[in-house]
Each structure stands twice: as structure tokens, then as C-alpha cells.
Structure 1
Amino acid sequence: MEYTSSNRRIIALNILKQIEEAIVKIQERTSVIHHADDFLLTSGGMEKLDAACMLLIAIGESLKNLDKVTEKKLLPTNTSIPWNDVMGVRDIIAHHYFNIDADEIWWIISKELTPLLEAIRSFIRDLSEESYSI
């Protein structure tokens, strides 16, 4: 599908806002988790792990869609995030769900989500300026 620069910007903004919302949800829902074992020791913890994994899948898929819409031009403008790795988490969780390591998911949540959120919010600020084109 062909997009105009204006359409790409609007669609990209919508995708970025969905990603922002998903990251915030993960952070809020896991605020009581302090270690990977907190996921594994209770059914409530397992529910939080399941929910976080689902949202990580959504984030990865949304980033893939964002990359398509922006013709792979937006994400490379921020080199502080390993975008292919972030998108790859989606594939790992989706295709190897029963082998998910709670330690790895906790590492992503506790160490990687805040920088990702900052990058997403930076893109939102940039794309919110009507003069910005992609």
C-alpha cells in the first residue's frame, strides 16, 4: 500500500502511542514484581508474566508494522535501542512460549523498558510536529 508522507506520519504516531500505552501497562502491572521468582511463586505472578509477555508480543509486532509504514526510516534514527532485538523478542515469545525464561522477561522489564519508552516518546514528540516528515 502506498502512503503519503502525511499518512505515514499519522499512522506512525498511532502505532507509537499504542506501543507507549503497552509499555506503561507492563510497568504498572509489574510494579509489585522485584525479582523473576515473583512471577513464578504465585498464580497472580504467573498471570502478570503472561500479561507482560502478551504485551511484549504486541510491542514487537507493532514495531515491525511501524518499520513497514515508515519504510524503515524512523527506527534507525535512534541508535540507542537495538530495534531488531526488540522485534525479535516478539518472535521468541510467540514461537517458544513454553520455554520462556522468567529471568529474561524480568531483565527486559526492569532494564530495557524505560529506555524503550523514552525512545518511543521521543519519536512521538518528533512526529507530533506537522513539519516532520517520513
Structure 2
Amino acid sequence: MSYNKELAIHILKQIEKAILLIQDRTLEIHSASDFLTKPRNVEKLDAVCMQFITIGESLKGLDKVTNKELLSTDPNIPWSKIMGLRDFIAHHYFDVDADEIWWIIENELNPLFNAIQTFINILSNPNNK
């Protein structure tokens, strides 16, 4: 590994925090339509989208910091789609679909969280040079 592991771990921990925020902010959400039923829940959708922007931007930075070496070691996660979600939300916010966001939360967030934690554990291992 020819990159700054400490910086990579810092970015990974920021992504981990963003995922935990999404999970916390959606505890009372049980379907996509729940996002749209109350103004308070629409705010939760906004907050979740902001965290997805943060995750996507952080992954772009991580990919740069790690010379594209780290993310490619886990091909099971659609890294480019996550980064693309960031771009879509940021540039086409009024086209964001609550159903799509909820599907991502339900199906993609836990595998992403697990991958991020695995990377943190691997990079934190002192035997890993």
C-alpha cells in the first residue's frame, strides 16, 4: 500500500458516521411513502440525501487518496454507482425519487457499512503495511 493509511482511515470513519446517521434518521421510516407523509419526514429525506452526498464525495476522495487501490479490492459494492448517486442528488435534487432512496437504504446500506468497517479493520491492523 503506497498511500496514507491514516488519512484513508479518517475518510472511512467519516463514511461510517454518515451511514450511522442515515440509519438513525430513518428508524421511524418503514417505507418510501413514509418520507412523504409528514413535513418532518420530508426533512428526514433531505437529511438522508445530504448524507448520501457526503458518502459519495468521501468515496471519491478515498479513491484519490488510495490511488484507486482500496475500493477495487471489494468488487461486491457498486462504488461508482454510490459516487454517481452523490452527483445525481447534488445536480438533480428535484428528481430524487423517495422509492429509490428507500430501496438503497433497505438493500445497499448494510453491505456498504460492512465493507467500510472491513476496510477500517484491515487498514488499522499494524501488520498490514
The TM tier, using the shorter chain, reads over 0.9
**Are 2:65 and 1:38 aligned?**
no
1:25 corresponds to 2:27: no
Q: Does 1:118 align with 2:118?
A: no
Name the residue aligned to 1:86: 82
Alignment of 1:49 onto 2:67:
no
User: Separation in 1 of the partners of 2:95 and 2:37?
Assistant: 17
Listed one character per residue, the Cα deviations across residues 33-91 of structure 1 (whole Å, up to 9, x for unaligned) are: 01101001100110100000000000000000000000000000011101101111000
The amino acid across from 2:42 in the alignment is M
What corresponds to 1:99 in structure 2?
A: 95
One-letter amino acid matched to 2:30: H
Q: After TM superposition, give the deviation of residue 132 of structure 1 in Å.
A: 2.1
Q: TM-score, normalised by structure 1?
A: 0.93
Percent of aligned pairs sharing the same letter: 58
Two-structure CA RMSD over aligned residues (Å): 1.2
State the Cα distance separating 1:129 from its structure 2 match: 1.1
Unaligned ranges ≥5, structure 2? none
Partner of 1:12: 8
**How many residues end up aligned between the 2 structures?**
129
CA distance in 1, matches of 2:128, 2:4: 11
One-letter code aligned to 1:38? D
Does 2:44 match 1:76? no
Tell me what 1:63 maps to. Answer: 59
What runs of 5+ residues in structure 1 fail to find an aligned partner? Answer: none
- Matched letter for residue 71 of structure 2: L
> 1:131 maps to what in 2?
127
Q: Give the alignment's TM-score, normalised by structure 2.
A: 0.96
